[in-house]
């Protein structure tokens, strides 16, 4: 077990709000590319595991990263290698494959190019893709900015149900954002992830 860089300047790193901005602007937009690369070269691993490890690894170096995209692929590569070592499956694709990640192309574009109306459309599309109830809840919470209690009252739901919808909605939207870049590039056939149910 490793610990995250924390306890400096008042509390864990995730309590500093700017890290969310950084992930939202410079990391999340590359997640689709990362997943595509992983599904080519690490399809025998749980890609969600690797992505989660990657975010944690990046958080540990937050503030020192100049090229988030390149760094993201490097952290993911290390996570793949570490996971392969733990697994008993014999890997017969050369690790060299892992070096073929697309560092050069589309380097640091991220979503800075998405401004105004374009970004608005993308966010709307993400929300539009949600199931009805979930969409209503997220619209009232995130766009209208109503407090949870009021959202619950307006829709005739319990607060805990509203909370469940917010949780599911954010998870779905995260998957949606992670798939968009691929769509913009007209890439391979993968479609955005829809949320999964908890395994029985």
Structural tokens at position 86: 């733990």
Least distance in Å: CB of 84 to other proteins? 9
- Nearest approach, Cβ of 103 to other proteins (angstroms)? 20
Residues 59-118 that bind other proteins (CB under 8 A): 59, 88-93, 116-117
Which one of 30, 37, 41, 72 is in contact with other proteins (CB under 8 A)?
A: 41
CA distance to 48, 87, 174, per residue, from 199 (Å): 14, 21, 19
Give the 3-state secondary structure of residue 176.
helix
- Complex with other proteins: residue 109 or 129, whichever CB lies closer: 129
How far is Cα of residue 67 from the mean position of the Cα atoms in its chain?
17
- Name residues contacting other proteins, limited to 172-191 (CB under 8 A): 173-174, 177, 179-180, 182-184, 186-191
Torsions phi, psi for 103 (to 5 deg): -85, -40
Residue 47 sits in the site that holds other proteins (CB under 8 A): yes
Cα–Cα dist 189/182, whole Å: 9
Site string for other proteins, 121-150 (x = CB under 8 A): xxxxxxxxx-----x--xx-xxxxx--x--
From the list 106, 113, 119, 158, which residue makes contact with other proteins (rule: CB under 8 A)? 119
Query: How far, in Å, CA of 63 to CA of 155, rounded?
Result: 42
Q: How far is the CB of 117 from other proteins (least distance, A)?
A: 6
In sequence order, which residues have a C-beta less than 8 Å from that of residue 194 and are 6 or more positions away? 172, 175
Q: Is 34 in the site for other proteins (CB under 8 A)?
A: no
Interface size with other proteins, residues (CB under 8 A): 90
């Amino acid at each position: 077990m490793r610990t995250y860089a924390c306890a400096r300047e008042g509390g864990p790193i995730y309590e500093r709000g700017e890290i969310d901005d950084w992930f939202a602007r410079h990391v999340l937009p590359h997640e689709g590319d990362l997943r595509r690369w992983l599904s080519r070269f690490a399809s025998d691993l749980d890609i969600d595991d690797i992505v989660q490890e990657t975010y944690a690894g990046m958080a540990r170096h937050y503030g020192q990263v100049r090229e988030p995209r390149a760094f993201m692929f490097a952290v993911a590569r290390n996570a793949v290698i570490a996971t392969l070592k733990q697994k008993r499956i014999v890997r017969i694709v050369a690790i060299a494959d892992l070096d073929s990640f697309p560092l050069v192309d589309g380097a640091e574009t991220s979503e800075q190019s998405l401004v105004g109306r374009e970004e608005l459309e993308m966010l709307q599309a993400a929300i539009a893709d949600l199931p009805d109830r979930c969409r209503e809840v997220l619209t009232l919470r995130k766009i209208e900015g109503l407090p949870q209690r009021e959202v619950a009252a307006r829709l005739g739901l319990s607060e805990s149900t509203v909370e469940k919808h917010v949780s599911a909605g954010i998870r779905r939207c995260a998957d949606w954002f992670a798939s968009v870049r691929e769509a913009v590039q007209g890439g391979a056939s993968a479609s955005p992830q829809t949320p999964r149910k908890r395994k029985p």
